[in-house]
Amino acid sequence: MTLGSVPSKFKVSIDRDQCMDCGRCIENCSYGVYRREGDKILIESRKCTGCLRCVAMCPRDAITLTEKPIDYRSHPLWTREVREDIIKQARSGKIILSGMGNARDLPVVYDRLLLDACQVTNPSIDPLREPMELRTYIGKKPSKLNFRKTESGDVELETKLAPNLKLNTPIMIGHMSFGAISLNAQLSMAKAVTELGTYMGTGEGGLHRDLYPYQDHMVVQVASGRFGVNIDYLERGAAIEIKIGQGAKPGIGGHLPGEKVNEEVSRTRMIPVGSDAISPAPHHDIYSIEDLVQLIRSLKEATEWKKPVFVKIAAVHNVAPIAAGIARSSADAVVIDGFRGGTGAAPKVFRDNVGIPIEVAIASVDQKLREQGVRNEISIIASGGIRSSADLAKSIALGADAVNIGTAALVALGCRVCGNCYRNLCPWGIATQRPELVSRLDPERGAVQVSNLIKGWTYELSELMGAAGINSIESLRGNRDRLRGYMLDEEMLKILDVLPAGA
């Protein structure tokens, strides 16, 4: 290793007895790991990101990837990662960027929470034979309903109901913007949510016209850069989300590199081709809850009070009082994004060190809203590292109304979590705008994959609820009695308001 060169993360090798010299690895690797020299395919392992495209495309299973070859001796304090970052920064003098979610090996609270099941004295419910109610309404709920008698003697509802989003399953897809991800990735997800009767977010990149047919299932985002925001955009969305913060990078704005801003992205975001799209850290018109109220009301006024408005925040230390303020701000839902949340590009130091886990954020926010008597004023949407139907069920039992998934949907589309989304070279056609790479992702096929994932989780959620003797999502929400903590300390159990296993 020469001075300033970064040690390689992977060792790539080809079994030359298996290889038929078809060249697909060269064609498929957008990072330039393979090249032909004479009649030989040469490998530059140092360039490998672990995207595994070559492994998937090799017709002879001839390629092997080994993680972390030893480029230098191990050390418990000066770990490989620490040294790698120092080498990178000594070379570049820049902030280290990273994609995807927090990559630190920290305990995941979800994995230390266990769900309950009925035995003998309380019968479980078989979801194959009995109806399960998974329909979820996102938005304000009235504390009580008033009815009045009409002159004809009929009874009609007097209480004015706030606009709600109706979800057939409590799983939505979070905001991943056009620009950060490809149009084919967005189209895949839009088709899936439309088919399933749920919703996805546009991200802060505007709404591409090819997504107009799915607009009734899109939540349009207003972020600090206001990219793509105009009245047409607001009117097209089923709901509007004001993004204040993101779990992967709390406290800072967004950055879409200029190389990802092609003609289409430029038109949709309303920015010049090739220019970096930099969203400021704060909204320059929001410095208090009162300012937030003004923006929410302006958005509602602009859309004739017909659409719910969400506010998305990163899960930070005082998330509960902040959410309580948002509940009083006339917002209809608070979206809380935990510190394992994904990103197209974030400074690695933020991604891996700032914020708190979504599990504790849900519990403390739900608790605070109940204590203050405003839980009905607002729905809680949780995101940031939801990996399975078990995480979904536990999130709802902790107090969420629904979850947003992000990385899980991308994995369904082929993403291998290589963390290089910000380089515009995603070989799976997801986090790239290069036409030759984008065309690798077929939106029809992608939609089936995403839809299958959400269906599978929904079936599993029904089974988990049935096993616990619960036939309505309403009865699972905030039902922490059906959770037990395993290998969690007393303080954490207290914050989660969950008993230890065995109690």
- Location of structure tokens 């400021």: 280
Task: Give the pairing of strands 136-138 and 165-167.
Answer: antiparallel
- The span of 155-163, 233-241, 264-272, 424-432 binding ligand SF4 (CB under 6 A) equals 424-432
The answer to whether 208 touches 181, Cβ cutoff 8 Å, is no
* 29 known member of a binding site: yes
Q: How far is the CB of 420 from ligand SF4 (least distance, A)?
A: 5
- 179 binds ligand SF4, rule: CB under 6 A: no
Please give the Cα distance from 84 to 103 (Å, whole number): 14
Q: How far is the CB of 61 from ligand SF4 (least distance, A)?
A: 8
| Amino acid at residue number 261 | V
* 54 known member of a binding site: yes
Cβ-Cβ contacts under 8 Å for 369 (sequence gap 6 or more): 323, 324, 327, 375, 377, 378, 380
- 428 binds ligand SF4, rule: CB under 6 A: yes
Long-range pairs, 71-77, Cβ under 8 A, ≥24: 71/1, 71/7, 71/8, 72/1, 72/7
- 345 binds ligand SF4, rule: CB under 6 A: no
Among 397, 431, 470, 496, binds ligand SF4 (CB under 6 A): 431
Cβ neighbours of 144 (radius 10 Å): 6
- Location of structure tokens 């036939």: 471
- 197 binds ligand SF4, rule: CB under 6 A: no
Burial 158-186 (b: 16+ CB within 10 A, else e): eeeeebbbebebbbbbbbbbbbbbbbbbb
Closer residue to ligand SF4 (CB): 338 or 429: 429
Residues of span 4-23 touching ligand SF4 by CB under 6 A: 14, 19-23
The answer to whether 266 touches 227, Cβ cutoff 8 Å, is no
Residues of span 371-410 touching ligand SF4 by CB under 6 A: 410
Please give the Cα distance from 137 to 120 (Å, whole number): 33
Q: How far is the CB of 119 from ligand SF4 (least distance, A)?
A: 42
Closer residue to ligand SF4 (CB): 60 or 83: 60
| Amino acid at residue number 109 | V
Among 102, 202, 420, 471, binds ligand SF4 (CB under 6 A): 420
Closer residue to ligand SF4 (CB): 255 or 307: 255
| Amino acid at residue number 252 | I
The answer to whether 322 touches 313, Cβ cutoff 8 Å, is yes
- The span of 215-223, 243-251, 426-434, 483-491 binding ligand SF4 (CB under 6 A) equals 426-434
* 19 known member of a binding site: yes
Q: How far is the CB of 62 from ligand SF4 (least distance, A)?
A: 4
Q: How far is the CB of 211 from ligand SF4 (least distance, A)?
A: 19
Per-residue tokens: 364: 């403390």
Among 12, 33, 62, 335, binds ligand SF4 (CB under 6 A): 62
Closer residue to ligand SF4 (CB): 54 or 369: 54
Q: What are phi and psi of 65, to 5 degrees?
A: -115, 125
* 118 known member of a binding site: no
- 60 binds ligand SF4, rule: CB under 6 A: yes
The answer to whether 331 touches 222, Cβ cutoff 8 Å, is no
Among 12, 29, 33, 41, binds ligand SF4 (CB under 6 A): 41
Residues of span 118-147 touching ligand SF4 by CB under 6 A: none
Per-residue tokens: 170: 């409590």
Among 12, 29, 33, 63, binds ligand SF4 (CB under 6 A): 63
* 418 known member of a binding site: no
Q: How far is the CB of 419 from ligand SF4 (least distance, A)?
A: 5
Q: How far is the CB of 27 from ligand SF4 (least distance, A)?
A: 8
Three-class SS string for 220-271?
A: EEECCCCCCCCHHHHHHCCEEEEECCCCCCCCCCCEECHHHCCHHHHHHHCC
Please give the Cα distance from 86 to 105 (Å, whole number): 19
Please give the Cα distance from 39 to 84 (Å, whole number): 34
- 418 binds ligand SF4, rule: CB under 6 A: yes
- Location of structure tokens 């948002």: 326
- 453 binds ligand SF4, rule: CB under 6 A: no
- 173 binds ligand SF4, rule: CB under 6 A: no
- The span of 165-173, 244-252, 297-305, 425-433 binding ligand SF4 (CB under 6 A) equals 425-433
Q: How far is the CB of 412 from ligand SF4 (least distance, A)?
A: 11
* 426 known member of a binding site: no
Closer residue to ligand SF4 (CB): 397 or 415: 415
Burial 265-287 (b: 16+ CB within 10 A, else e): bbebbebeeeeebbbeeebeebe
- 419 binds ligand SF4, rule: CB under 6 A: yes
Among 239, 292, 327, 415, binds ligand SF4 (CB under 6 A): 415
What residues make contact with ligand SF4 under the rule CB under 6 A? 14, 19-25, 41, 51, 58-60, 62-63, 99-100, 410, 415-421, 426, 428, 430-431
Annotated binding residues for [4Fe-4S] cluster: 19, 22, 25, 29, 48, 51, 54, 58
